[in-house]
A and B are shown apart, each in its own frame.
Chain A
Amino acid sequence: MNRLKAMNRTTRTNYLTYILVIAAYVILEVMLKGGGLKAATKGMLVPICAYIVMALSLNLTVGVMGELSLGHAGFMSVGAFTGTAATMCLVDAVPNTAVRLCIGIIVGAIAAAIVGFLIGIPVLRLRGDYLAIVTLAFGEIIKSLVGNVYMGVDQGHLKFSMFTNELNMSPEGKIIIEGAMGIRSIPKIATFTAGFVLIMISLIVIFHMVGSRSGRAIMAVRDNYIAAESIGIPAFRYKITAFTISAAMAGAAGALFGNNYSSLIASKFNIDTSILILVFVVLGGQGNMLGSIIAAAALTILPEALRSFADYRMLMYAVILIAVMLVSNNQKIKDILKNAAEKRTGKKLAEGGASDE
């Protein structure tokens, strides 16, 4: 208990996040094995994991780095297509689905990291809303290009073409990506456990990064760009590292997502998806990883939970979204909470308890 007290607040929050995620996983996994879950809940487990990783990834960009990105779905798209194409190609070579999925996720993460790095070089020189609009533009460009790619495997060779199907496949060849029709007949190999592992890895990476020297540098840049530069922090270098990691995580999430559905189309990863993920991050609190996890899960479940409203479903969703934003930013509620918090800390201080704030 004393050790727990001795830890600083951030470390405590980090451990709390790990524990909650593990607890949620154990409970759900037990229910899953015991057959206590409905088909609807079961079907949402993997996408929720993918969205949580997406939210964590974007939170690194928006919360920690302080840059608004409106094109995060683009990285997810790159990861989803490369990761799924990889697992599709390796169906015969790697019969073990867990290993194959792992390879797919790694491929997706690497591909997205490369794209993220290349995009980051120009993008991170911009600031504020201009940066946001350029990420949006890159997201749309990725969507537009991915939707025109044709790829096939023919006698051990990969074949590519753009815009129209000019692969000239031999009869034994297999078309993998088919332009706007995307990837089809994907074996569903993504599992809830893989999603859980991915969330844990993302959390470890992010917490480690935030706590490290580069993390502090990035946050210094976020809080005061000029001051940070003036004391010799190479802002750009740190930023591009964080952005690339963020893209890699989004790519991994995409690969997980892609391997969970029997068909994958490029138009899924549009601006709406980017914005949805941004909503997770803002609702959960910028820089607050646990908040992102809960918000991503809650907002993915919410539209499904509202199915009983039938035609009014998405209307209810919109109303709830607005209401939550209004309530959580309401000055009166904030004041009440602040007072309560002050009272509590006041009491603590009086008792002589340690407070590191």
Chain B
Amino acid sequence: MNMKKFFAILLAAMMVFSLAACSGGSDEPAAEPAESGEAEGGEGVVQIHIGATGPLTGGAAIYGQAVKNGAEIAVDEINEMGGIQFIFQMEDDTHDPEKAENAYNALVDWGMDMMMGTVTSAPAEVTAADAYADRYFFLTPSASSTNVIDGKDNIFQMCFTDPNQGSGSATYIAENNMAEKIAIIWKNDDSYSTGIRNTFVEKAGELGLNIVTEETFTEATKTDFSVQIAKCQEAGADLVFLPMYYEPASLILNQANAAGYAPTWFGVDGMDGILTMEGFDTSLAEGVVVLTPYSADDDSELNQNFVAKYQEKFGEIPNQFAADGYDCIYALYQAATAAGIDPATMDHEAICDAMVAQFTSMTFNGLTGADMTWGADGTVSKMPNAVVIENGAYVGM
């Protein structure tokens, strides 16, 4: 017996353990519903298993965690009301299509009845294709790529699509005559950012907007933006379009401020959350225009209640992702109630068909918009809200 063999045996033992843990792990949650069902008297209680995947660890964990937190609040509220009981399980996909497929399969083994989507676009393209093939109803909170929903009747989005945001932004800028010269800074190794940029440029061409420069960054260069900012400044851009998430955007605002450059900044829905970053100097975001469906400052009762609960539970102010997660659960709840979903008597294919029928016909009021409806292609129709940041708060335009 030499060292190499010892390694081999050790590893083999680890693998066996892994497989054992694997099966043990997936049995556990499946046993849970039975228990809670008994506790509540068993008969007549409708229990729906909702699976979700998103990045809970790694660089994109901000978005996955927010969706998870928002969804959990909604699930708790719904379960407190009595009636339909939701059992929510979110698996980590680390923002990787490969891991997303694993997470999806784990959810299938867990006994998911319907899926509250995948949080980010690239992994969602994989899980949505699977959910389409396997006939699971799928509602994504924030995967905005059109490829997630294209040609798939049972895939729905809670967020705007990329083209919707890109061309929507271009249209808004043109209609309001906001700029003479436009610059774009986008992340060219990210599908969300690239998707919006492409449709923006296309629409801007149609509308005759003048794009003077386009600058990019990648995951590896998302710290220093001084060159990109300087080039926008040099090109004389009076409006800079930022199709990206709020984390790099906050750095851009910070560095532009240090360089004394103050154009109109125009962001998309990923920008939401910038005001609530811990320690962020909100004066930097003064005058930023954001095309977003959600605002944590909104004083509707629904939103105030949500924000208060979120802060109490997680000690942070929710962003758009959290609101999307919350809305998704309520939209599923509304549709499931109206369709009379009961997994005890329906398999996931029947549930899927019933949910699709509901979604294409219902109207939903949530945090991220009022009177939302869904088309048969899976896109949501809600008002994109252009807001401007004034004194550290969103103000409608």
Q: Please, which residues of chain B bring their CB within 8 A of the CB of A67?
A: none
Interface: B226 (CB within 8 A)? no
Q: Please, which residues of chain B bring their CB within 8 A of the CB of A283?
A: 7, 11
Interface band, chain A: 35 or more
Question: Which chain A residue shows the least CB distance to B103?
Answer: A307
Q: Which of B29-58 contact A (CB under 8 A)?
A: 29, 56-58
Task: Report how far A26 CA is from B28 CA in the complex, Å.
Answer: 29
Interface: A311 (CB within 8 A)? yes
Q: Do A261 and B10 touch (CB < 8 A)?
A: no
Q: Do B101 and A43 touch (CB < 8 A)?
A: yes
Most chain A Cβ neighbours within 10 Å, of B104, B150, B193, B194: B194
Q: Do B8 and A147 touch (CB < 8 A)?
A: no
Interface: A284 (CB within 8 A)? yes
Interface: B108 (CB within 8 A)? yes
Q: Please, which residues of chain B bring their CB within 8 A of the CB of A328?
A: 6-7, 10
Interface: A179 (CB within 8 A)? yes
Q: Please, which residues of chain B bring their CB within 8 A of the CB of A290?
A: 8
Q: Do B25 and A288 touch (CB < 8 A)?
A: no
Q: Please, which residues of chain B bring their CB within 8 A of the CB of A301?
A: 15, 18-19, 22
Q: Do B97 and A265 touch (CB < 8 A)?
A: yes
Q: Do B188 and A40 touch (CB < 8 A)?
A: no
Q: Do A265 and B191 touch (CB < 8 A)?
A: yes
Q: Please, which residues of chain B bring their CB within 8 A of the CB of A265?
A: 97, 122, 191
> What is the distance, in angstroms, from B20's C-beta to the closest C-beta of chain A?
8
Tell me the total A-B contact number using a CB cutoff of 8 A. 167
> What is the distance, in angstroms, from B318's C-beta to the closest C-beta of chain A?
19
Most chain A Cβ neighbours within 10 Å, of B26, B98, B198: B98
Question: Which chain A residue shows the least CB distance to B101?
Answer: A43
Contact of B97 among A268, A302, A304, A334 (CB under 8 A): A268
Interface: A191 (CB within 8 A)? no
Chain A 120-163 interface 0/1 with B at a Cβ cutoff of 8 Å (1 = within): 00000000000000000000100110011000000000000000
Given contact pairs A301-B22, A308-B24, A40 touches B102 in the complex (Cβ within 8 A): yes
Q: Do A285 and B105 touch (CB < 8 A)?
A: no
> What is the distance, in angstroms, from A305's C-beta to the closest C-beta of chain B?
4
Given contact pairs A184-B147, A288-B4, A268 touches B98 in the complex (Cβ within 8 A): yes
Q: Do B220 and A140 touch (CB < 8 A)?
A: yes
Contact stretch, chosen from A102-110, A215-223, A247-255, A292-300? A292-300
Given contact pairs A288-B8, A294-B12, A181 touches B218 in the complex (Cβ within 8 A): no
Task: Report how far A308 CA is from B26 CA in the complex, Å.
Answer: 7
Most chain A Cβ neighbours within 10 Å, of B1, B102, B106: B102
Interface: A263 (CB within 8 A)? yes
> What is the distance, in angstroms, from B80's C-beta to the closest C-beta of chain A?
22
Q: Please, which residues of chain B bring their CB within 8 A of the CB of A303?
A: 99
Q: Do B191 and A341 touch (CB < 8 A)?
A: no
> What is the distance, in angstroms, from B73's C-beta to the closest C-beta of chain A?
17
Given contact pairs A265-B97, A308-B21, A181 touches B145 in the complex (Cβ within 8 A): yes
Chain B 100-141 interface 0/1 with A at a Cβ cutoff of 8 Å (1 = within): 011111101100000000000010011001100000000000
Interface: A33 (CB within 8 A)? no
> What is the distance, in angstroms, from B270's C-beta to the closest C-beta of chain A?
15
Given contact pairs A40-B22, A301-B22, A341-B2, A285 touches B7 in the complex (Cβ within 8 A): yes
Interface: A200 (CB within 8 A)? no
Q: Please, which residues of chain A bring their CB within 8 A of the CB of B56?
A: 311
Chain A residues engaging chain B, CB cutoff 8 angstroms: 38-44, 47, 140, 143-144, 147-148, 165, 179-182, 184-185, 257, 261-268, 270, 283-285, 288, 290-291, 294-295, 297-298, 301-308, 311, 313-314, 320, 324, 327-328, 334, 337, 340-341, 344
10 further A-B contacts with Cβ under 8 Å, apart from A40-B109, A305-B19, are A181-B122, A265-B191, A268-B96, A285-B7, A291-B4, A294-B15, A298-B15, A302-B18, A308-B21, A328-B10
Between-chain CB contacts (< 8 Å), 29 pairs = A39-B105, A40-B26, A41-B22, A43-B105, A147-B188, A165-B198, A179-B188, A180-B188, A180-B189, A181-B145, A181-B191, A261-B97, A263-B97, A263-B125, A263-B147, A268-B98, A285-B7, A291-B4, A301-B15, A303-B99, A304-B18, A306-B25, A307-B103, A308-B26, A314-B92, A320-B14, A337-B1, A341-B2, A344-B1
What 4 A-B pairs have minimum CB-CB distances, sorted nearest first? A308-B25, A262-B129, A305-B18, A43-B105
